[in-house]
Structure 1
Amino acid sequence: MTRLDDGRPASLAHRTSGTDPLTLVVGVHLVLVDEGAVLLGRRRNTTYAAGLWHLPAGHMEPGEPITRSMTREAAEELAITIAEDDLELVHTLHHLDADDGRSRLQLFFRPARYQGRVHNAEPHKCEALHWWPLGQLPADILPYTAHALGEITRGNSLSTVGWPA
């Protein structure tokens, strides 16, 4: 990746000049942990990270608060119902994506409770669901997911990935 003198990816130069406001992509991620194991899904038929393990996740949609984004994604992907008030924000990751140079805010939520039985409600996007011990995550996990889970395990609520030191 080509970088400017100030360390920013060259692809960001046109987006960070003058008075243009920063536009963030906001992702929401569900951290379901049971007896020390976290639920991950293997992505399939996606343009991003196909074949890698990742948390149930998605993006905010226009006009939607972040908590509704997370409960919607949980219903769509896992067929479970979570009350917005039952979500706890456990980690915030500011991620600079090396592939496209976009700044992404990744929000990780843990539910206090949920209703329903977890199952793969989107088999066309998710090859499989599996509970992985937090200390033995798969080698083919999305790197920022592994980073965030490590930070959550250590009790850190904020981190950054991909930004120049």
Structure 2
Amino acid sequence: MNEETPQLDSAVPREHRPANASALIYNGAGEYLLHLRDQIPGIWEPGSWSLLGGGREPGDRSLEETVRRELREEAGLDIPDLAPFAVEEALGSDGTSLPIQVFAGHWAGDPATLDLTEGVMLHWFRPEVMPRLRMAPATLELIHRHAEMLSAGQCGAAPALGARRPPHPRGPSAPAPGGNAVPNVIGVHLYLENANGEVLLGLRHPDSAYAGSTWHFLAGHCERESAVACLVREAREEAGLVIDAKDVEFVHAVHLVDTPGMQPRMQMVFRARRWTGMPEILEPDKCVS
């Protein structure tokens, strides 16, 4: 991109020209790469899912150089086919509007292999699950608009939506040696915080197979259901809490193998913003307090 790009035309008053740039990164499976920002007061959108990017520095000759530098610095990421997509109007904490030049580009890699230097994690999400995430409405609208254009073939050449991206050779989605896929156990964990800032934890039974005699989130394993449906069911069964799926947002994931040779586990943490009922012990064989 150069200074003749329409969004940055010299006819636009300087105070309204973007000084920040972000990358809208998508893959052939219809997923978008989001960045979970640190929960640090005073930074832009703390604790939210957002696009990678940042502000223009004196050495940047264009906003394309800005976004490429930010991708390298934040995640060691290089996207060859970045192209201008839109200007997003973001609101700062003081209510002022900040124009951000958004570049779109295709990438099919595994974010777990990237060297993230800022924030908590990078993760692929499909647009339909994003309303459950904590993210700026303008970013959500931007992604939905791009997904619609991509589906209609208006965003340039890219693998067709629905196509499966090849697994990264070092990523957890790659087949195990010998070509045999290994099933992963999916666990869900409930982060519940009341108006006083207190977090609900349960004291696991001493005989529990996992984390016995330890204070822990209410948790359970997925059956033939989605992770959010599992969370809603476990909250009701374990503690008598009623949670609406639309009030749940994904906040963290831990993919692990406890010991070599054990079955891999994906532990997903969800936060419920609203619920009804008072916590009570309904499964004393699992939770004692």
TM-score by length of 1: 0.66
Q: Counterpart of 2:50?
A: 54
Which of 101, 110, 127 is the equivalent residue of 2:120?
127
| Equivalent residue for 1:43, pick from 20, 37, 42 | 37
**8 A Cα contact 2:36 2:122, kept in partner:** yes
Match of 1:71 in 2: 68
Query: Which residue of structure 1 lines up, in the alignment, with residue 21 of structure 2?
Result: 28
Residue identity matched to 1:40: L
Distance 1:131 1:82, change over 3 A: closer
TM-aligned CA deviation for residue 22 of structure 1 = 2.7
The answer to which structure has the higher strand fraction is: 1
Q: Determine helix, strand or coil for the equivalent of 1:135.
A: helix
**CA drift at 1:99:** 2.8
Q: CA deviation at 1:98?
A: 5.8
Q: Residues of 1 paired with 2:124 and 2:93: CA distance?
A: 28
Distance 1:50 1:94 in 2: 18
Q: Paired residue for 1:150, among 132, 144, 147?
A: 144
What whole-Å deviation, never above 9, does each CA across 1:94-118 have from its counterpart, x for those lacking one?
34x263243311121122569x864
**Aligned partners of 2:86 and 2:14: how far apart in 1?**
24
Q: Provide the residue aligned with 2:89 in structure 1.
A: 94
Change (3 A) 1:99 1:45: closer
User: Which runs of 5 or more structure 1 residues have no equivalent in the other structure?
Assistant: 1-19, 158-165
Determine which structure has more spread, i.e. the larger CA radius of gyration: 2
SS at match of 1:106: strand
Q: CA deviation at 1:63?
A: 4.2
Post-superposition Cα deviations, 1:3-55, rounded to whole Å, max 9, x if no partner, equal xxxxxxxxxxxxxxxxx963655221111111111111110054221111111
CA distance in 2 between counterparts of 1:74 and 1:63 reads: 16
Secondary structure of the equivalent of 1:100? coil
Decide whether aligned partners of structure 1 residues 117 and 80 sit closer, same or farther in structure 2, where only a CA change above 3 A counts.
farther
1:29 to 1:102, Cα distance in 2 relative to 1, 3 A: same
Q: Alignment identity in percent?
A: 21
Letter in 1 for 2:19: V
Q: In structure 1, how many angstroms separate the alpha carbons of the residues matched to 2:125 and 2:14?
A: 40
Alpha-carbon distance in 2 for matches of 1:30, 1:139: 19
Taking the aligned partners of 1:117 and 1:98, their CA distance within structure 2 comes to 31
Displacement of 1:120: 4.2
1:60-92 per-residue CA deviation (whole Å, 9 max, x = no partner) reads 112421110011011111212234xx3211222
Counterpart-to-counterpart distance in 1, 2:31 and 2:79: 19
